[in-house]
């Protein structure tokens, strides 16, 4: 469906061009069906935002309420998102919108009676416009700050995987909002034997989303890089990470699930610890599937928690898939989850492909399953193929 604006026949062609340019500028070149899809997505996301606050109050009530009370509570959920001053402006605007027009008369100097009509709707529109402009200005400032935060976060995450002997690696992340609480990385670190080099594979997911999760993700990255520079076992590294996370988790509310694997290219051995994270998939070249479950609690829940490490020997043709819950818990319009089985099916069908191609397959398959449903969680996937 075309999104151009065509004036009536015989109208100035220059005006037609100007109208089309104006419409293109307003819509960013989107077609009408794309605009409707965007509106539908944003409307659902906004409804869930307001419903969250209303639903919390509704669950605290012991008696069911009528339709009027439900509508009133939902309107309060909207009003509470505004500052008190803007609530007053909005309420006056609604009041003016409901009031009928008024008029009064007076006698002029010539002796004629003059009638003056007052339309409260006009003043309602002015108040609505003021509230809109104030909200837009806040959004512009917040969007600018979020874009800066996104740029800083992108500096913390690797853009391309480093060369690792015996491994081909691909990774991708897609935040649910502008910034994410997911973390991934692959980097070299010193082993416990002098002169030995090992490679750390890390995927983590901070509880929550947006700015709070992104800030904790940055502290996770900093502590991991700092502690990894010290020669120590993987269990000691994770214990140090847990201690640091406990100091910044608000009593365990902001915990972090993580999978950390240390690869020894000489022995083709992967030592790993799963700290409450989604279980990575190890698909052997023969087609059998193993789960890497050994580890302990998520980081930041209990100081002094112990962590057990597991170990597997990797062989040529093996696939290792490490992901966050945003992949398998992606929802479609029927409230169905993508699930691990669909991920395994894509992995089995493309086992002969390279990691980059496999990653495209996985992300495309998730997108096709989800359709127009808004993404509700950060999505991160790290794929490793043993060469």
pLDDT, tens only, 16-35: 888 888 888 888 888 888 88
The pLDDT tens digits of the residues spanning 165-203 come to 999 999 999 988 777 789 999 999 998 888 889 999 999
User: Residue for token digits 């609530």?
Assistant: 87
Of the candidates 333, 322, 24, 273, the residue with the CA atom closest to the CA atom of residue 170: 322
Three-class DSSP category at 185: strand
Q: Could you count the other beta carbons within 10 Å of the beta carbon of residue 290?
A: 14
The whole-number average pLDDT for the span 226-251 is: 89
Using pLDDT thresholds of 50, 70 and 90, give the confidence band for residue 1.
very low
Mean pLDDT of the chain: 85
The pLDDT tens digits of the residues spanning 82-135 come to 888 988 998 899 888 888 776 666 666 666 666 667 778 888 899 999 999 988
Q: Could you count the other beta carbons within 10 Å of the beta carbon of residue 285?
A: 14
Tell me the C-alpha distance between 21 and 29, whole Å. 9
The pLDDT tens digits of the residues spanning 351-383 come to 999 999 999 999 999 999 998 887 888 999 999
User: Residue for token digits 């023969």?
Assistant: 286
Tell me the C-alpha distance between 194 and 243, whole Å. 26
- Those residues whose C-beta lies under 8 Å from the C-beta of residue 19, and which sit 6 or more positions away, are 5, 7
Q: Is the pLDDT of residue 285 over 70?
A: yes
Backbone angles phi, psi at 5, to 5 degrees: -105, 120
Tell me the C-alpha distance between 341 and 338, whole Å. 8
Lowest mean pLDDT, pick from 3-17, 210-224, 373-387: 3-17
User: Residue for token digits 């989107």?
Assistant: 30
Q: Is the pLDDT of residue 228 over 80?
A: yes
Q: Is the pLDDT of residue 235 over 70?
A: yes
Q: Is the pLDDT of residue 312 over 80?
A: yes
The whole-number average pLDDT for the span 266-295 is: 95
Confidence (pLDDT) at 384: 97
**% of the chain beyond a pLDDT of 90:** 47
SS3 content of the chain, % helix, strand, coil (to 5): 45, 20, 35
Of the candidates 311, 303, 315, 248, the residue with the CA atom closest to the CA atom of residue 274: 311
Lowest mean pLDDT, pick from 149-153, 306-310, 343-347, 378-382: 149-153
pTM: 0.73
Tell me the C-alpha distance between 100 and 118, whole Å. 9
Confidence (pLDDT) at 123: 87
Q: Is the pLDDT of residue 229 over 60?
A: yes
Q: Residues 94, 98, 103, CA angle at the centre, nearest 5°? A: 120
- Those residues whose C-beta lies under 8 Å from the C-beta of residue 235, and which sit 6 or more positions away, are 273, 307, 308, 309
Q: Which of 52-66, 121-135, 285-299 has the highest mean pLDDT?
A: 285-299
Q: Residues 43, 48, 53, CA angle at the centre, nearest 5°? A: 135
Confidence (pLDDT) at 103: 62
More confident residue, 15 or 301: 301
Please, are residues 272 and 314 in contact by the beta-carbon 8 Å criterion? Answer: no
The whole-number average pLDDT for the span 272-292 is: 96
Of the candidates 341, 324, 340, the residue with the CA atom closest to the CA atom of residue 376: 324
CA atoms within 13 A on the CB side of 36: 5
Confidence (pLDDT) at 28: 84
Tell me the C-alpha distance between 355 and 386, whole Å. 10
Please, are residues 326 and 375 in contact by the beta-carbon 8 Å criterion? Answer: yes
**% of the chain beyond a pLDDT of 70:** 88
Confidence (pLDDT) at 366: 95
């Amino acid at each position: 469906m075309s999104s151009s604006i065509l004036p009536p026949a015989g109208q100035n062609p220059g005006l037609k061009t100007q109208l089309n340019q104006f419409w293109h500028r307003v819509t960013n070149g989107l077609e009408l069906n794309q605009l409707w899809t965007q509106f539908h997505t944003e409307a659902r996301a906004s409804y869930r935002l307001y419903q969250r606050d209303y639903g919390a109050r509704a669950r605290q009530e012991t008696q069911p309420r009528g339709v009027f009370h439900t509508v009133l509570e939902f309107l309060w959920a909207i009003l509470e998102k505004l500052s008190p001053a803007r609530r007053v402006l909005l309420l006056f605007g609604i009041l003016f919108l409901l009031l009928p027009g008024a008029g009064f008369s007076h006698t002029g100097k010539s002796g004629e009676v003059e009638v003056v009509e007052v339309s409260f709707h006009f003043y309602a529109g002015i108040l609505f416009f003021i509230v809109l402009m104030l909200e837009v200005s806040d959004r512009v400032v917040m969007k600018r700050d979020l874009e800066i935060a996104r740029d800083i976060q992108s500096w913390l995450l690797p853009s391309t995987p480093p060369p690792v002997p015996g491994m081909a690696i691909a990774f991708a992340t897609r935040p649910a909002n502008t910034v994410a609480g997911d973390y991934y990385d692959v980097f070299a670190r010193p082993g416990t034997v002098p002169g030995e080099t090992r490679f750390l594979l890390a995927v983590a997911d901070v509880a929550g989303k947006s700015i709070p999760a992104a800030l904790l993700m940055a502290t996770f990255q900093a502590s991991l890089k700092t502690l990894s520079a010290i020669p120590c076992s993987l269990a000691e590294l994770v214990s140090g990470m847990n201690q640091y996370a406990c100091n910044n988790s608000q009593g365990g509310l902001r915990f972090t699930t993580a999978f950390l694997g240390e690869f020894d290219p000489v022995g083709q051995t992967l030592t790993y610890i799963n700290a409450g994270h989604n279980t990575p998939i190890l698909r052997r070249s023969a087609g059998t599937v193993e789960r890497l479950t050994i580890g302990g609690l998520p980081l930041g829940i209990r100081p002094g928690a112990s962590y057990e490490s597991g170990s597997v020997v990797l062989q040529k043709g093996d696939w290792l898939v490490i992901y966050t819950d945003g992949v398998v818990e992606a929802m479609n319009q029927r409230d169905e989850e993508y699930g691990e089985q669909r991920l395994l099916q894509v992995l089995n069908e493309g086992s002969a492909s390279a990691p980059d191609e496999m990653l495209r397959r996985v992300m495309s398959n998730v997108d096709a399953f989800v359709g127009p449903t808004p993404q509700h969680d950060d999505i991160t996937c790290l794929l490793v193929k043993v060469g």
